[in-house]
Structure 1
Amino acid sequence: MGTLSDAFTEFLSRLRPSPGQIEQISKRRTRLNELLQRNWKPAKIIPIGSYARGTAVLPLRDVDQMVVLNRPGPEELAVDELLRDLLTQLRREYPEVSARVQNRSVGLHFIDFGLDVVPALERRQGGFRIPDAEARRWIYTDPIKHEELAKEKNRLTDGMAVDLVKTVKVWNGNRSVGLKSFHLEVMALRAIGQKATTFAQGLRDVLLAVSGTVGSPCGDPGLSGGRLDLYLDESRRRAVAGHCKNAADEMGLAIREDAGGRSSHAVARVRTLIGSPF
């Protein structure tokens, strides 16, 4: 068995879409963009979401496209009517695919992964407004700011940052930690500074940092004024902090085992910690 570094290299390769998946995503996006241009004539179409930021993990559930409309301000557009109109057009273009209105988008649900179409209006002050079907109103977002945060952290770490985010997402899902994916992503990215000496050390540092920040307010990187942490009560925050601290301690033990020549023990420890597909 190889070192802990070797195990992480193999693990991270399993989290990346294959060339065939990347080609399929590109083809579906191209077809979708062509029909959106033909039917809606949008000002622009922007790839958004975790796939665009490079932080999506497999199996891929959906790929998001934001359609910036050439239309009046939100006070002149009814949210439910707009989403129904988009649903009607997508069903006409994709009769063989299940489609439905979601809270802030219309989803096309293919067998392998979906496409989520998010209609948006550009704000003069910056950012965008997107529909919220449950609240029946327009809300502020700025996915470009979200992507900039990931890109900047990735630049500072020579590409390590997004892999660290994907790894903590896998851990969070496999161990039922209870953090929402985007909230965890933002906390992890904000915790990352310069490139760590090793990936294992970087992962330990991120887990330890999140254990200390999950109890604090977490604002939207898009500067919407909204908070990403409001779904957690105090009891759940303490439980999540404990999960993160225990995981950081386990990574520390694995790092020491690997340095001491007991790489098989280190890899087994991390496999137990992270779960499949490590």
Structure 2
Amino acid sequence: MISLDDAFRKFRSRLELNENEKKNAIARHTEVREHINSKFKVDRDFLTGSYARYTKTKPLKDVDIFFELADSERGYRDKAPSEVIDAFYTALVEKYGHEKVSKQSRSLNVDFGVDVDSDDNTHYRILSVDVIPAFRAGDDYEIPDTASGAWIKTNPEKHATKATAANKAYSGEWKGIVRMLKYWNNNPKHGEKPVKPSFLLEVMALDCLHGGWGGRFDYEFQGLFATLATRIHDTWPDPAGLGPPVSDSMDAARKARAKTLLEAAAREVTLAINLARQGKNGQALDAWRTLFGPKFPKS
């Protein structure tokens, strides 16, 4: 029977992209980038978000593509944020159709219609990408936010720097733990995700995972779930210090629900640890799989 440490390391490996998934992701985001570049003047486009930071979990969806628009497109910056979102929507619908493209408050989502099986496999294909229009603002960027009707500042490069530093401080384990945590968040047993956006979990982990890697995944998650539950009602600023707090996306009711589910997860971890202490390794692995989902191995 697989040891608990080996099970966690296999779990972490299962959440990393293999070569076939990388090829499909490259093909998809290249296709989208080329299309947008044919419709708008773009100074630079690049991958960002959790995919670029290597904190994206599986099934792989919502790969972020950031488009820094040229000065010749700056007329959009003088208009309501909805104008550029509408323009990008029209461009993407031309290629993918109305049923595959949806507007979000700060981006456009393109769904590739990929099915996910009961084991969270997609036959090495990504589900979707998010397209984000932006303008340069000094060393930072401004992106549209239709929810507030304002342009907001952001800097995904600063987000990436913080994630890299956190991973180094945690002996290279931080990003893997975040991927596992996000996978828990995606578990269908919750219905709606407990914490949304999942980026909020990453932001919280920058502060809640501290003190360095202790060498035990089970103890790390026991403490992490308990700490997240205690601090879910805190205000969590944008790590770049630019945009609105990341936690603003969740109202009091959503945070209360998340707290309940995070506390339940902490109890499930304690149960799994106690089963292992009693030598009931098979039952312990079952408990971890129930907690996380089908990608957690039992052998």
Range of TM-score over shorter length: 0.7 to 0.9
Amino acid at match of 1:62: D
Query: For each residue in 1:43-75, what CA deviation from the matched residue of structure 2 results, as whole angstroms up to 9, or x when unmatched?
Result: 221212221222222112221111011123765
Q: Distance in 1 between matches of 2:244 and 2:216?
A: 34
1:30-179 maps to which residues of 2 (within 5 A)? 30-71=30-71, 72=74, 76-94=78-96, 98-112=100-114, 113-124=127-138, 126-174=139-187, 175-176=189-190, 178-179=194-195
Q: Does 1:192 pair with 2:209?
A: yes
Q: 1:245 to 1:134 in 2, by over 3 A?
A: closer
TM-score (norm 1): 0.85
TM-score normalised by L of structure 2: 0.80
- Per mean C-alpha deviation after superposition, the further-off stretch among 2-11 and 250-259 is 250-259
- 1:216 is the counterpart of 2:234: yes
User: Kindly, what percent of the aligned residue pairs are identical?
Assistant: 30
| Cα RMSD (Å) | 2.7
Aligned residue type for 1:148: T
Q: What amino acid does structure 1 have at the position aligned with 2:207?
A: R
* Matched residue count: 276
- Runs (5+) with no aligned partner, structure 2: 115-126
Corresponding position: 1:258 with 2:260: no
1:184 counterpart letter in structure 2 = L
Amino acid paired to 2:108? V
Q: Which amino acid aligns with 1:173?
A: N
| Counterpart contact for 1:97–1:108, Cα < 8 Å | no
